[in-house]
Amino acid sequence: MPVATPAPHTGRRPRPEAIGRLVPRHDRRLRRVARSYGLSAWDVDDVVQSTWLQYLEHGHALREPAALGAWLETTARRLSLRLLQRHVREQLTDSGETTAADLAAEPEPAVLAAERRALLLAALAELPERQRRLMRVLVLRPELSYEEVGRRLAMPVGSIGPTRARCLDRLGRDRRLRALRVAWR
């Protein structure tokens, strides 16, 4: 490892003639740091160039000239990480909930939801009429009491629970819905 040399600046801005001596001395080290992050050759060049630009802008603030190598390496690490994160898209929201706009931005969830809905509707279509009507009311109007459901369907309140249980049992045995349940685990 080379001996640390004082930073080539006068306290204000780095001297151009001294920078010409620093680049060859630290170039290999900076490239090794950038490559360690798996960057392409072009990105490595960008990181090294940006590191030297950072030095030109902020090198005058170095208090300890012997720390130049470590400062350059740290700067190259930070720039490499920043470059890796440029493709990460974050959308901050006030809540952790997914909105309809979030789902509309990506078509895959909408397609999957449509496929699940089609499978469920096909399975419901195979139920006996009484069970299908009951499930429709229970799903579309969950706020209704069993008394109100019984009145709407002309069904005794005591038979709503057992009919619902038979319906769910039959849906649970449907091979398409079982495959869907396995896929969602």
Task: Give the Cα separation of 148 and 159 in Å (integer).
Answer: 13
Other CB atoms within 10 Å distance of the CB of residue 167:
19
Q: pLDDT at residue 31 above 70? A: yes
Mark residue 11 as left, alpha or beta (left: phi above 0; alpha: psi -120 to 50; beta: remaining): left
How large a percentage of the chain has pLDDT more than 90?
36
Q: Rounded to two decimals, what is the model's pTM?
A: 0.44
Return the pLDDT at 152.
92
Cα distance between residue 152 and residue 137, in whole Å = 9
- pLDDT at residue 76, rounded to an integer: 94
Q: Residue 159 corresponds to which tokens in the numbers above?
A: 């038979």
Q: Which CATH class is domain 16-87?
A: mainly alpha
pLDDT tens digit sequence for 115-143 = 888 888 888 889 999 999 999 898 888 89
Task: Please indicate whether residue 62 or residue 102 has the higher confidence score (pLDDT).
Answer: 62
8 versus 48: the higher-pLDDT residue is 48
Poorest-confidence range of 7-16, 38-47, 169-178? 7-16
Could you tell me how many residues make up the chain?
185
Cα–Cα distance measured from residue 149 to residue 151, given in angstroms and rounded to the nearest whole number = 5
Q: Provide the residue ranges of all domains of the chain, joining segments of one domain with +.
A: 16-87, 120-183
pLDDT reported for residue 11: 54
CATH 1.10.10.10 is right for the domain spanning 120-183: yes
Using CA of residue 12, residue 16, residue 21, residue 25, what is the dihedral sign? positive
